[in-house]
Chain A
């Protein structure tokens, strides 16, 4: 199975500042069609997960443009340009290239 790692595992951010989460996969997620099969999700306290980014860099509908995804192959990054208090929660990357799909361990984001 493809193993996903994330760093940092915990992040405390001042509102208005930028934040960045790294996700790495044990195998390349780049398909021969040119797409990277990597999604980003956030799970806010007491809620179900929400899709933020799919195929590494495509923002899901309704997701604020302060969220962006980048990367290719085995290294990916989720950036929040200006963190807002509502952004607290656990952020997960997930590879959807090979069955079994696998999530990263999650990054806890809270507000200073």
Chain B
């Protein structure tokens, strides 16, 4: 069965950086758009960023543009999110997700368990 495992979360001070990773198994990410979604404590879901199969297109929610960078290493079957200049409102559980259909950037059928990022002094 498809598996996505996020890592790299933790406590960081405002202005700091973190790099999240998402390791995929039992499928090749090279065929799919990949996405990061976050959920602040007690809040709803927020789409953060996604990246095309070959990494040639990347898109971000406005609130993270210029601070976060999504990337992928298809050879390592992994997705990443480099988060810089972190703010308190970036505090959230970050999920990586895989699209169901090849060529689609929606229909997020498979999700990881999430990794918690806490931005606080």
Contacts and interface: CB of A to CB of B under 8 A. Distances in A.
Interface of A: 1, 37, 39, 41, 43, 48-51, 54-55, 60-61, 90, 92, 94, 96, 99-106
B44 interface: yes
A51 B44 contact: no
Interface of B: 37, 44-47, 50, 59-62, 95, 97, 100-101, 104-109, 111-114
Most chain B C-beta atoms within 10 Å of own C-beta, residue among A41, A50, A61, A101: A101
29 contacts: A1-B62, A37-B106, A39-B106, A48-B95, A48-B113, A49-B108, A51-B100, A54-B100, A54-B101, A54-B109, A60-B109, A61-B100, A61-B109, A92-B45, A94-B106, A96-B104, A96-B105, A96-B106, A96-B107, A100-B47, A100-B60, A100-B61, A101-B47, A101-B50, A101-B105, A101-B106, A103-B44, A103-B46, A106-B44
